[in-house]
Amino acid sequence: MFTKVLVANRGEIAVRIIRACKELGVDTVAVYSEGDADALHARLADEAVCIGPALSAESYLKVTHLISAAEVSGCEAIHPGYGFLAENAAFARMVSESGLVFIGPTPDNINKMGNKSLAKVTMRAAGVSVIPGSKKDLTGLPEARKLAAEYGYPVLVKAAAGGGGKGMRLAHDEKELETGYKMAKAESKAAFGDDRLYLEKYIERPRHIEIQIMADNYGKTVHLGERECSIQRRHQKLIEESPSPAVNEALRKKMGAAAVSAAKTIGYRGAGTVEFLLDPKGDFFFMEMNTRIQVEHPVTEMVSGYDLLKEQIKVAAGSKLSIRRDVNKPNGHSIECRINAEDPDRDFMPTPGKISFLHLPGGPGIRVDSHIFAGYVVPQYYDSLIAKIISHGRTRGEAIDRMRRGLEEFYIEGVKTTIPFHLKVLADPEFIAGNLHTGFIPEMAERLKAKK
């Protein structure tokens, strides 16, 4: 095992990584920006190094600062967390070329999945069902028109370098395709410096179902079941759960096998997530793969019994996976609500500022992953996630009841949060019935308006 690990992140995930290292007997070095001088992760780690000003571009994204911090403090490995440099193949390569271990997949793994259009080519060749669409990057608008006519409208134009909805345009007819194509091209050029596009048949009212996989260096690759992440707002997930109300054991085995073969095809190592769309008929299609630990990993931990961070670190250190077989039978049900410092009454505008009072929920079946405390000032510079409440129960109903109680006993003053919004979702009859799909939030808004 490593003796010392550099935690190249901030917020709740930095705290989560430090906790896993403590249990493994590994010392930690935190990095922090000038905007995070009082942050919890810098206090909980054994050592802390300031790596620059508050702006991420001058601190958490500075490859040279991170590698120097690891070298001067005598670390053997770097954990990137999620976001920032977690899916940057050049960073992963520089870490290993500096004689350090990148706790994550290989640079080649990251590259193969980073281009979403190329990832689909690889998956199709491996026999994984992918969303019907262009077989490679589009050559131009004429080809887009031809393919759209072939598959039938509506279609989606997506950025090859994208993911998570950036540079994506929906078209219901040829006219919309023309403007959508041009806008997607300009947007992805500006956002990624890469204007390659691909086209897909638009799947109506799908669920977003993702499969957690883990792989070691000894040829072992397993899946840990699914997470349902259909409840999103502007491509930001707000609530995730495992298992999905729409997935039975037979479907879990099929989707799990597809995810494992996706990972094996590229010689994947470490923790990863294979995203699928599940259509109302029950057919599923590969969408993209995320080559990192994800925000919503705790719901999988609660129903599988495994600590994904510890597994990730052990695998990177050269140990075998402790998970010996696929997790096809989840233990109970788990739900995660993301508590953001945002005002749901003002279009989810960020609400940075000082937390003047705080009481975090607890009790049976409630876990809180967070870095906040009374007196903490939520900085304006980073994403607005301040806590994750994760409930666990024997049934989905019990997980919902516990989550509602947890949200109600979360007392926070000084910043507005997404807690009232979560309570509305938990009271929604369609949510309670498990009727989830990617249009859930706009449709819930309509239901609430009709009730008034």
| Distance in Å, CB of 172 to ligand MV4, minimum | 13
Q: How many CB atoms lie within 10 A of CB 387?
A: 24
Residue span binding ligand MV4 (CB under 6 A) among the ranges 16-24, 59-67, 162-170, 210-218: 162-170
- What is the rounded (10 degree) CA torsion for 33, 36, 41, 42? 70
Kindly state the tokens that stand for 452: 């008034």
Q: What is the SS3 string spanning the chain?
A: CCCEEEECCCHHHHHHHHHHHHHHCCEEEEEECHHHCCCHHHHHCCEEEECCCCCHHHCCCCHHHHHHHHHHHCCCEEECCCCCCCCCHHHHHHHHHCCCEECCCCHHHHHHHHCHHHHHHHHHHCCCCECCECCCCCCCHHHHHHHHHHHCCCEEEEECCCECCECCEEECCHHHHHHHHHHHHHHHHHHHCCCCEEEEECCCCCEEEEEEEEECCCCCEEEEEEEEEEEEECCEEEEEEECCCCCCHHHHHHHHHHHHHHHHHCCCCEEEEEEEEECCCCCEEEEEEECCCCCCHHHHHHHHCCCHHHHHHHHHCCCCCCCCCCCCCCCCEEEEEEEECEEHHHCCEECCEECCEEECCCCCCEEEEECCCCCCEECCCCCCEEEEEEEEECCHHHHHHHHHHHHHCCEEECCCCCHHHHHHHHHCHHHHCCCCCCCHHHHHHHHHHHHC
Shorter beta-carbon distance to ligand MV4: residue 45 or 444: 444
Q: Does 203 bind ligand MV4 (CB under 6 A)?
A: yes
Shorter beta-carbon distance to ligand MV4: residue 326 or 342: 342
* 35, 104, 180, 206: which one binds ligand MV4 (CB under 6 A): 206
| Distance in Å, CB of 253 to ligand MV4, minimum | 23
* 235, 320, 394, 447: which one binds ligand MV4 (CB under 6 A): 235
Q: Does 295 bind ligand MV4 (CB under 6 A)?
A: no
Kindly state the tokens that stand for 435: 């009727």
| Distance in Å, CB of 158 to ligand MV4, minimum | 7
Shorter beta-carbon distance to ligand MV4: residue 16 or 437: 437
* 111, 122, 300, 438: which one binds ligand MV4 (CB under 6 A): 438
Of these residues, 169, 292, 338, 367, which one is catalytic?
A: 292
| Distance in Å, CB of 268 to ligand MV4, minimum | 19
Kindly state the tokens that stand for 11: 């917020």
Residue span binding ligand MV4 (CB under 6 A) among the ranges 7-15, 160-168, 218-226, 336-344: 160-168
Q: Does 240 bind ligand MV4 (CB under 6 A)?
A: no
Residue span binding ligand MV4 (CB under 6 A) among the ranges 122-130, 161-169, 392-400, 410-418: 161-169
Q: How many CB atoms lie within 10 A of CB 375?
A: 12
| Distance in Å, CB of 132 to ligand MV4, minimum | 8
* 221, 232, 242, 294: which one binds ligand MV4 (CB under 6 A): 232
| Distance in Å, CB of 286 to ligand MV4, minimum | 11
Contact between 246 and 226 under an 8 Å Cβ cutoff? The reply is no
Contact between 77 and 316 under an 8 Å Cβ cutoff? The reply is yes
Residue span binding ligand MV4 (CB under 6 A) among the ranges 58-66, 94-102, 159-167, 370-378: 159-167
**292 among known catalytic residues:** yes
Q: Does 208 bind ligand MV4 (CB under 6 A)?
A: yes
Residue span binding ligand MV4 (CB under 6 A) among the ranges 13-21, 163-171, 247-255, 350-358: 163-171
Q: For ligand MV4, how many residues bind (rule: CB under 6 A)?
A: 17
Shorter beta-carbon distance to ligand MV4: residue 235 or 354: 235
* 12, 36, 200, 228: which one binds ligand MV4 (CB under 6 A): 200
Q: Does 164 bind ligand MV4 (CB under 6 A)?
A: yes
Q: Which of residues 114-133 bind ligand MV4 (CB under 6 A)?
A: 131
| Distance in Å, CB of 100 to ligand MV4, minimum | 31
* 74, 165, 364, 397: which one binds ligand MV4 (CB under 6 A): 165
Active site residues: 292
Binding site for ligand MV4 (CB under 6 A): 131, 156, 163-165, 200-203, 206, 208, 230, 232, 235, 277, 287, 438
